[in-house]
Chain A
């Protein structure tokens, strides 16, 4: 069967594709943000650094803390340039002090 392109009238709306991620805050960052989790909508292809930029618009103090924050996506440590996917769980992890 020959593949056919969908007619232009059926293309998606012109707004850019977006993803939704769940962001978790712990310890001093939960205090700073005033919440423990937040759902964030980002442009497709957004990185953790992009997410931080969005969050810092709300809470500017977060930007100053960012150099000492580690990141985990779906419970695996990653660097700030990691790309996010729809449905990801992004955790902002301050320096740890267990033990």
Chain B
């Protein structure tokens, strides 16, 4: 398992290599990348802040949940912090599984769950200011 926060560009091939095991017939990857607009308003860059120690713990828990639920032997999850430019990957997930269905489902579970309970925040920078993105629908609650 690879679970990490990093302020450097994410090494996607390294994550894929980690889950490319002889027993796996499918690898599903997801990349979240920096979009150049927020509902049409031009975005110049993004910033990510994390409660780092807790974020890593939560990310590890989510990966462990997925590995147990879909009986996986290899998952990699990396999330960026700091400033990112348009097109850079902010999050990368690689899931290896014997068959594709489990790989797709586990990958989807990991990104959807990460967005609801990992303490990481995104700041959108515009030409004329910046805002923290804090959707009330993503308010974590005690498990």
- Contacts between chains A and B (CB distance < 8 A), count: 93
- Tell me the nearest residue of chain B to A94, going by C-beta: B134
Interface size on B, residues (CB 8 A): 35
What is the bound-complex CA distance between A72 and B54, given in angstroms? Answer: 9
What is the bound-complex CA distance between A27 and B91, given in angstroms? Answer: 19
- Complex partner residue of A26 from B51, B137, B138, CB under 8 angstroms: B51
A79 touching B142 by the CB < 8 A rule? yes
Chain B residues whose CB sits within 8 angstroms of the CB of A78 once the complex forms: 142
Q: Which of B11-19, B64-72, B98-106, B115-123 contacts A (4 or more CB under 8 A)?
A: B115-123
A96 touching B137 by the CB < 8 A rule? no
- Complex partner residue of B119 from A28, A93, A99, CB under 8 angstroms: A93
What is the bound-complex CA distance between A24 and B54, given in angstroms? Answer: 12
Chain B residues whose CB sits within 8 angstroms of the CB of A77 once the complex forms: 117, 140-143
- Tell me the nearest residue of chain B to A27, going by C-beta: B121
What is the bound-complex CA distance between A72 and B51, given in angstroms? Answer: 11
- Tell me the nearest residue of chain A to B80, going by C-beta: A98
In the assembled complex, 12 residue pairs joining A and B whose CB atoms fall closer than 8 Å, in A order, are A28-B134, A68-B139, A70-B139, A75-B51, A79-B141, A91-B119, A96-B115, A97-B115, A97-B132, A98-B79, A99-B91, A99-B120
